[in-house]
Amino acid sequence: MQEMKTPNKKLAFYYVIVIAAILMFNEMARPYFEEAQIQQVDYSTFMQAIDEKKIDHVEVQSNQIVFTEKDDDKKYKTGLMNDPNLAERLDKSGATFTQDIKAEANPILSFFLAWILPILIFFAIGQYMSRKLMDRAGGNSMMFGGSGNQAKIYVPSSEGIHFSDVAGEDEAKENLSEIVDYLHNPQKYSTIGAAMPKGVLLVGPPGTGKTMLAKAVAGEANVPFFSIAGSEFVEMFVGMGASKVRDLFKQAKEKAPCIVFIDEIDAIGQKRSGNLMGNDEREQTLNQLLTEMDGFEGNTGVIILAATNRPDSLDPALLRPGRFDRRVPVELPDLKGREDILKVHGKKVKLDEGVNFHNIARMAAGASGAELANIINEGALRAVRGGRSTVTQTDLEESVEVVIAGYQKKNAILSDKEKHTVAYHEIGHALVAALQTHSAPVQKITIIPRTSGALGYTMQVEEQDKYIVTREELENKLATFTGGRAAEEVKFGEISTGAANDIEQATKMARAMITRYGMSDEFDMVAMETVNNRYLGGDTTLACSAATQEKIDKRVVELVRAQHDKAKKLLEENREKLDELAAYLYEKETITGDEFMKILHAEEEEKAEGPEEQRSTEPTEKTSYNLA
């Protein structure tokens, strides 16, 4: 959609002030310039010129004598002496002479020059500097008046965003399509007595498409769209934010039917604490917003859309019916949603015929719409670097890893011992996962360092999205997390710092099982921990006594230790496979899940196929995979 820009105001006032100042300065400075051009001489020289009849004209002033000589355009001056016969001698020499009578200064002009003109000049300079500061800061100056809002106004356009450009959020689009229908046919709702929600709040994690959905509503409804960020209401001076809110809603009513979109509304909509250290400017802005929203009539045709990542921090008065009546969750897409999003963004690039978006969507579990768009773009960039004209399946699979773990560090050279350690560490993860039930299949294992800091990683991909996870599945994940450290202990008999991230994830999961999921026999179904800002990482806060916290720490250690022992036992029982797989990974550096499973189940396949002489496959030299 196209943006409407407000034309700049004329600067005629400033031009008039500058021209007047120049003229006044010219008139006031002229005598000083003329005085500087007069040459000063002695009084005796002046007397000699009179005697020689060289004087043409003499002007006797109050403090000096200014004269000119015949055939000379220059002016000369000399000091005033007590000479009563001066006039008689000048008359005899034939010179013309006058005496300057200083006129009394005009009081009105003196007052104007001394007071009015300086004030006007400073006022003009202040206005100019104020506007410069406003242009830089993006706001208006309270000192010199003006409180216009900084909303970007878009008008309908054939190139605007529509619902067809937004994928993976079918429920959200269904909720918002009702808003579009109301803007097109308000009589259909008013006839039956139905009132459309005055405000719709879009909530969800970053990158899920909240702003894009708001613009899609405007594109579908074909109405003006006002867009402004919540932080733009907060100003240095108290009252400026409230003034901006009034101006924004005034413009919206004039252009109704229209949509007003406030992004990151939590910047001004946080709960009012009431303490003396609160932000008066923010609270006044919130109060004005509450008043404006509650003052709308049912048929004004102005719909308020807002987006936030922190709905829990919003003031209850803002969320009550009559203001934001409807909350539309914009969650992370599921498997089908991720596939649809990849298809939408895949239309923008040239794809190879063999691209399978379903597999890419499975690999990108938990990715937001913005991350999926980045995956497509990274795949296109990789195709360009490789000199290909189309994006292949390999390009997209590698781009998933780039988004998750970063680019490959080609200059990072591991020592032989470090490379062996990383190989055993990653095979430990994969082997423990494969030896347990209810574990996600292994997709890929690599020991190539990445820019995220990882020296290697094991990728597991679920066949389908899971919304409920059992206690056994969580314990299996804990064992998988500890499998890397367990493999180092089994092989080398020592531990390294490579398991830092595994330890962090295992501890976080074990604590959640005890404090939030009720998977502890001692605490049963009692919540010991609360989650804050679940859309922004989910920070947790303990809600228990110090004694209970000590028990929780003890149970967390016991749970992780039990799964660690389980992982070590599984690896010790399958030590031969651990060595074989680690050697193969050390040699290849990157292996697929199919290669991993083929080596893992090689003996079972041999038994199923029969005696040695009946097998058609070539024998494999296992010694080449064993470590020294």
Distance of CA 161 to the CA centre of its chain: 21
Q: Where are the domains of the chain?
A: 38-99, 152-329, 335-405, 416-503+548-614
Average pLDDT over residues 15-40: 63
H or E element in which residue 320 lies = none
**Catalytic: which of 220, 371, 426, 475?**
426
Tens digits of residue pLDDT in 224-242: 888 888 878 776 555 677 8
- CATH value of 335-405 in 1.10.8.60, 3.90.1150.10, 3.40.50.1000, 1.10.3720.10: 1.10.8.60
Q: What six digits make up the tokens of 42?
A: 């002695």
Instruction: Provide the mean pLDDT of the chain.
Output: 79
pLDDT greater than 50 at residue 282: yes
Distance of CA 368 to the CA centre of its chain: 16
d(CA 356, CA 359): 6
pLDDT greater than 50 at residue 502: yes
d(CA 320, CA 325): 7
First vs last Cα of the chain: how many Å apart? 66
pLDDT of residue 183: 80
Q: What six digits make up the tokens of 594?
A: 């199919």
pLDDT greater than 90 at residue 294: no
Distance of CA 401 to the CA centre of its chain: 24
Q: What six digits make up the tokens of 431?
A: 């082997």
426 has catalytic annotation? yes
Closest CA to 321 of 492, 205, 195, 218: 195
Average pLDDT over residues 387-402: 90
258-263 and 302-308 beta bridge pairing = parallel
d(CA 278, CA 276): 6
pLDDT of residue 3: 45
Tell me if the domain spanning 152-329 has CATH number 3.40.718.10. no
Do residues 583 and 595 touch, judged by C-beta distance below 8 A? no
CB-based burial of residue 472 (10 Å sphere; 0-12 exposed, 13-18 middle, 19+ buried)?
exposed
pLDDT of residue 187: 84
Planar angle of CA 123, 126, 130, nearest 5 degrees: 140
Sequential DSSP letters for 558-569: HHHHHHHHHHHH
Distances (CA, A) of 548 to 253, 469, 523: 56, 26, 9
Average pLDDT over residues 72-76: 78
Using the 8-state DSSP alphabet, how is residue 453 labeled? S
Q: What is 416-503+548-614's CATH number?
A: 1.20.58.760
Which of the four pLDDT bands, split at 50, 70 and 90, describes residue 610?
Answer: low
Tens digits of residue pLDDT in 116-167: 777 777 777 777 766 665 555 444 433 333 445 555 655 554 456 788 888 8
Q: Which CATH class is domain 38-99?
A: alpha beta
